[in-house]
Amino acid sequence: MSKEFDILSAAFDEAILDAKSHNKILKSETASIEIERPVEHSAEPFWSEKNQKYLAESIAELETGGGEKHELVEVE
């Protein structure tokens, strides 16, 4: 019974290591993927140059520990 347990345990260990390895590869590959914005976006204010600049500045502020948490604001 002990030999069978050792074989099963080794198989599980190998499967876990394999899964961790695949997870690292997937994370590294997806980290380099950039989301492309639509070609035609002039009608959508979100994509305006002014808003994109504002978002980039806000993200940079949050990444350096700045900013303030708040509830989401619902817009009707």
Question: For residues 46 and 37, what is the distance between their CA atoms, to the nearest angstrom?
Answer: 11
Query: Is residue 58 a part of any domain in this protein?
Result: no
Query: Is residue 47 a part of any domain in this protein?
Result: no
Query: Is residue 3 a part of any domain in this protein?
Result: yes
How confident is the model over 37-47, as pLDDT tens digits?
A: 655 556 678 88
Per the structure, how many domains does the chain have? 1
pLDDT of 53 > 90? The answer is: yes
What do you get for the CA distance between the two ends of the chain, in Å?
A: 67
pLDDT of 58 > 80? The answer is: yes
Phi, psi (5° rounding) for residue 2? -65, -40
Question: For residues 52 and 44, what is the distance between their CA atoms, to the nearest angstrom?
Answer: 12
Question: For residues 65 and 45, what is the distance between their CA atoms, to the nearest angstrom?
Answer: 27
Query: Is residue 6 a part of any domain in this protein?
Result: yes
Question: For residues 58 and 63, what is the distance between their CA atoms, to the nearest angstrom?
Answer: 9
pLDDT recorded at residue 31:
63
The mean per-residue pLDDT over the stretch 5-21 comes to 75
Quote the mean pLDDT of the chain: 77
Query: Is residue 42 a part of any domain in this protein?
Result: no
The mean per-residue pLDDT over the stretch 40-69 comes to 83
Query: Is residue 23 a part of any domain in this protein?
Result: yes
Q: What is the pTM of this model?
A: 0.37
Range of the domain at 15: 1-31
